[in-house]
Amino acid sequence: MQHPLDNPVWHALIGPHADLAIGRGRARHYPRDVAPFSAVADATAAAYADLAVDLPAGLEARLFRPTDEPTPVGWETISARPIIQMVADTIVTPPGAVHDDPATLGEADTQRMLNLAEAAKPGPFGPRTYLLGRYIGFRDGDRLLAMGGERFRPPGFVELSGISVHPDAGGRGLGSAITLTLARLALARGETPFLHVFPDNPAAALYRRLGFRERTRLWVDLAARCGSVAMMPITAFRSVFFGWKVVAASFTIAAFTFGVGLYGPSVFLNVLHQQRGWPVSVVSVALTVHFLVSGILVARLPDAHRRFGVAAVTQAGVAALVVGMFGWSLAAAPWQLFLAAILSGAGWAATSGAAIIAMVTPWFDRRRALALGHAFNGASVGGILFTPLWVMLIAAVGFPQAVAIIGCATLALLWPLARWYLRPTPDSLGLVPDGNPAQPRPRAAVRTEHPPLRLAALLANRSFMTLSAAFALGLFAQVGVIAHLVTRLVPLVGAVDAAAAVSLATASAVIGRILLGMLLGDANRRIVAAGNFTMQACGVVLLAVGSTAVMLVPGCILFGLGIGSLLSLPPLIGQTEFAPADVPRVVALVTAVNQTVFAFAPAVFGVLTQLSGGYVVPFLVAAAVQVIAGVVVIQGRVNSSRGQFVRG
């Protein structure tokens, strides 16, 4: 069995640092802003193939290996240097050692730590290196004179790293004091401290005096990169900007979560009404609770993402959505739907449109419209595939069994997908939006941004209020139509064709979203939004008064062409009308308002249907609301170009 210290990075990344790890199979990477190191379990071609998949284009893999081993075909060794690995079973305090206790360092000290690392050059040190373990240091006022900390943590061991002393503070024993303190802390926890030092580094002698002994010699800086025809399939995939992999993952997540959380309830409404005899109005109110809970919680989604990470929040949301929908299928009385709706609504909040936007936007700026369009096409695919799938599965095996089948498939696919593709960030991979290599940041950059707008300022902002109101109205009408479309069409064309009509509408949404991404360019995005509302209103009128395919098919197409754009346009409008620091808050608040307002659509449509005896009145009301939304969005037009932002 391999000793953990013979491959320290690998054993750290599959052990105590697994929560930081990026990768799969027999390869792992640290996020680049934490530590620029990668690892393979062994020197096989399969391990290096796994290494290539998540290695950002243009970057080499920096590895610790037990021997100077050849790399597989398709990889080129850039450099390789031997390094001494030293361990300490006990420590020795030399005469005259500094006995002052170093201060604990954290996130607030990041810039001071980076400044010291630049001056002392202890080795790789990034803006999030402090996440690897405890860091300590000596300060002189606001200035950091010396520091050191814990880096690799194979089980039972902890590497001391980043030990550095400012050139102005040399000769005072600060480096020795840092090393001794870290070693004592490790031994007190029952861990063995170790460190790495190049043979020509005079610090090796100091470490020996402190009680460290040479254990072995490894090879480090074995920077490898793909470079031969034999690796063409792997390098071709590796050269794809990671942001597009995130888009592909977001597409898949949207397909499943929209298929379950948005289009599923429209089928459930008809099933619960037809099979269990529950009134449409009652089931519609349960749908409203589902969307209302989502609308309330989605306002806190940015905070949850900052605290727990996009990947973890998405995984929890998927689980809650599936369990909640299973509760819908098992409900024995209407009141039980409301309990299930609370859980499914919480899951929908973490996986709906605001979540998809949060997954994609950090990776794109100039190409954001196209990227969001591709990601949200997954939502449309969810409607195309899941609506008929729900109908067929429920008819074939029953409601609870259908939910169990689709729910298990959703969990099995989305849970690992979120882990693999939503945990990395552009900073962690050394990239900037749109796929360009990250450029070094100036040491003393001048900040010219305005402070973020406060909530009160946003609520007094004409641009924000018209944006929020218009899309809240538009989505109210859209969600109401989607929730009741199957039930509206079943008496006219039957359950199978009704599901096919919903698929046609969502297929049209794919085309509409692609056209938006391709043709939007520099066009005024509010005028585009007004046109989108008007087009949908025309389609809804046809769906309201039509009874044959001659009117219903064009109605589905016109309504569907605008479905996706109502999700894509708010962040695109916000991007052009608000300062970059304000955009995430604007999008989150607009989404929260939207989801809170459209949460009431299923219930309102249900009541109108019951009062009027049919769907003509509620659908015509929806068309009128969409026309009003078009008028409202035009009222907020601003004469701004990219880089000129609304601040009041």
Q: pLDDT tier at 239 (50, 70, 90 boundaries)?
A: very low
Under a CB-based contact definition with an 8 Å cutoff, are residues 220 and 83 in contact?
A: yes
Closest CA to 565 of 597, 601, 535: 535
Under a CB-based contact definition with an 8 Å cutoff, are residues 620 and 542 in contact?
A: no
The pLDDT value recorded for residue 648 is 43
Residues of the chain within CATH 1.20.1250.20 domain(s) are: 240-435+454-635
Query: 135-140 and 192-197 as β-strands: parallel, antiparallel, unpaired?
Result: unpaired
Residue 644, pLDDT > 90, answer no
Q: pLDDT tier at 428 (50, 70, 90 boundaries)?
A: low
Closest CA to 234 of 57, 85, 108, 380: 57
Closest CA to 23 of 413, 359, 419, 316: 419
Compute the average pLDDT of residues 12-20: 93
Mapping DSSP to helix (H, G, I), strand (E, B) and coil, where does residue 564 land? coil
The CATH code that applies to domain 240-435+454-635 is: 1.20.1250.20
- How many separate helices (H) and strands (E) can be counted in the chain? 24, 12
Using one digit for the tens of pLDDT, what is the confidence trace for 457-473? Answer: 777 788 888 988 999 99
Q: What are phi and psi of 76, to 5 degrees?
A: -120, 130
Using one digit for the tens of pLDDT, what is the confidence trace for 555-564? Answer: 999 998 888 7
Q: Where are the alpha helices (DSSP H) in 547-615?
A: 549-561, 565-577, 583-598, 601-612
Per the document, the length of the chain is 648
| Cα–Cα distance, 526 to 534 (Å, whole number) | 12
The pLDDT value recorded for residue 224 is 55
170: left (phi over 0), alpha (psi -120 to 50) or beta: beta
What is the token pair recorded at 188? 């007190």
Mapping DSSP to helix (H, G, I), strand (E, B) and coil, where does residue 3 land? coil
What is the token pair recorded at 249? 């993952």
| Cα–Cα distance, 522 to 285 (Å, whole number) | 41
The structural architecture, per CATH, of the domain 87-220 is: 3-Layer(aba) Sandwich (3.40)
Q: What are phi and psi of 598, to 5 degrees?
A: -75, -10
Helix 525-545 crosses helix 549-561 at what angle (to 10 degrees)?
Answer: 160
| Cα–Cα distance, 154 to 550 (Å, whole number) | 68
Q: Which helix (H) or strand (E) holds 550?
A: helix 549-561
Contacts (Cβ under 8 Å, ≥6 apart) of 33: 126, 127, 128, 425, 427, 428, 430
Q: Which helix (H) or strand (E) holds 436?
A: none
Under a CB-based contact definition with an 8 Å cutoff, are residues 317 and 344 in contact?
A: no
SS (H, E, C) 353-419: HHHHHHHHHHHCCCCHHHHHHHHHHHHHHHHHHHHHHHHHHHHHHCHHHHHHHHHHHHHHHHHHHHH
The pLDDT value recorded for residue 232 is 33
Q: Which helix (H) or strand (E) holds 93?
A: none
Residues of the chain within CATH 3.40.630.30 domain(s) are: 87-220
Indicate the DSSP class of residue 452.
P
| CA 146 distance to own-chain centroid | 36
Using one digit for the tens of pLDDT, what is the confidence trace for 547-600? Answer: 888 899 999 999 988 887 777 788 788 777 877 667 767 777 787 788 778 878
Using one digit for the tens of pLDDT, what is the confidence trace for 324-358? Answer: 999 999 999 999 999 999 999 999 899 988 899 88
**323: exposed, middle or buried (C-beta count within 10 Å: 0-12, 13-18, 19+)?**
middle
